[in-house]
Each structure stands twice: as C-alpha cells, then as structure tokens.
Amino acid sequence: MSERIVLASGSASRRAMLTHAGVPHDVMPTQVDEAAIKRDLATSAPADLAAALALAKARAGSDAAPGRIVLGGDSLVALDGRIYDKPASRAEAAEHLAAFSDHTIALHSAAALVRDGQTLATTADVAQLVVRPLSPGFIEAYLDAEWPAIAACAGCFRIEGMGVQLFSSLKGNHFTILGMPLLGLLSELRTLDVMTS
C-alpha cells in the first residue's frame, strides 16, 4: 500500500472493516449537515441520497486533510418509499422496529473517495433484510440490551451483535450490511494504485 487513507467517520464498524482488510488508515470524523442534504434531496432515490451523504462527508474530510485520500461513507434504511433516519430517541427506535416488523427493509450503503475536493471514486451496494415478526415485548427487551448503543445505527441494529435476532434472512453482501460496500471500495483503491493489485 502506497499511502494511508483518511476515514472521515467515527464508525467502529467501518474502522474494523478497514483494519481487518489490511487498509492502513487514520480516523478523522467529520460533521456535515445531514438534515439539510436530506431536505435538498427529499425526492431522490435512497441509493442516491446515501451516495450524496457519503460524498459530502468525504469532501468535508478532504477540506481538513489536504493532499490525502479521504473516505466518506453512509448507510440508510428504506421501507415502502420512506427513508428511516437514525433514531433520535429510544421511543423512536421502538417505532422504527415496529414498522420494520414482518417486512423486508433495504439497506443502502455508499462510499466515496476524495482528494483535495476532487471526487476520485464512488461505490455503492444494497442489501435486503427480512425482518421477522417482532413482538412489543421483544422490542422492549431488545432495546433494554442495545439502547443507546444502536442510536447511531441505520435500522436500529448491529448485525454483529444482538441485531441479528431481528431477521429471518439476509440477502446481500455481509460488508454492506455492516455499513460499507467494502468489496467495491477495495476495487477502487486498487484502481487508484493505493493498494497493490
């Protein structure tokens, strides 16, 4: 690998994926006005919104890390045309989980690579997650165990933890479900000669 990239995210899952995949990186979380982006793109497809958020985060990180390749990422959940934000409260998480119960949710994950404000590459993927019927009692017990750790998680779950109990089946790439289209990202890093091909 010729250079360390910058991960513009505080996500423990994304850090772990990069580390385990052998991608040297530094962590520099960035802040963007996600609400404003979502308002501006209110009629966009979920995949396009995830891509726009990932790119905005990468660009914000690029401003703070001149000359370096910055990785931005985003994941969001959609069901029946509605995009579900990360829950703002335990009560809202319970509402989301009740809405997901006995439905298939789409988890969109996107990543963008930017250097000095210039977009070098983008990649995205989607997974279909079949949520089993969730009783009110299960939702409360689940949140007793997982809240507030899942407050920053699209879909109110950590698939590597108790979140796996929400689903009857998963259709899609494991890394996408964890929160990053890692295989596509690795391909882009090789194309950019950041990683040995």
Catalytic residue among 33, 74, 125, 193: 74
The β-bridge partners of 152 are: none
Whole-number pLDDT of residue 2: 65
| Residue 196 confidence (pLDDT) | 84
The span from the CA of 90 to the CA of 139, in Å, is 11
Q: How many CB atoms lie within 10 A of CB 176?
A: 22
Residue 99, H or E segment: helix 90-100
Domain of residue 38 covers 5-191
Give the residue among 161, 159, 168 at the shortest CA–CA distance from 134.
168
Q: Is residue 197 part of a domain?
A: no
Structure tokens at 24: 């040297």
Query: Hey, what are 10's tokens?
Result: 């505080």
Closest Cα to residue 53, out of 173, 179, 141, 165? 179
Q: What is the rounded distance in angstroms from the CA atom of residue 121 to the CA atom of residue 135?
A: 42
CA 142 to CA 67: how far, in whole Å? 44
> Which residues of the chain are under the pLDDT cut of 50?
none
Structure confidence at residue 197 (pLDDT): 78
Number of folded domains that form the chain: 1
What is the structure's pLDDT at 111? 98
Classify residue 93: in a domain, yes or no: yes
The confidence score (pLDDT) of residue 106 equals 98
CATH number at residue 33: 3.90.950.10
User: What is the chain's length?
Assistant: 197
Is residue 34, in this structure, part of any structural domain at all?
yes
Q: Is 193 a catalytic residue?
A: no
Three-state secondary structure call for residue 86: coil
- Cis ω before 148 (30° cut-off from 0): yes
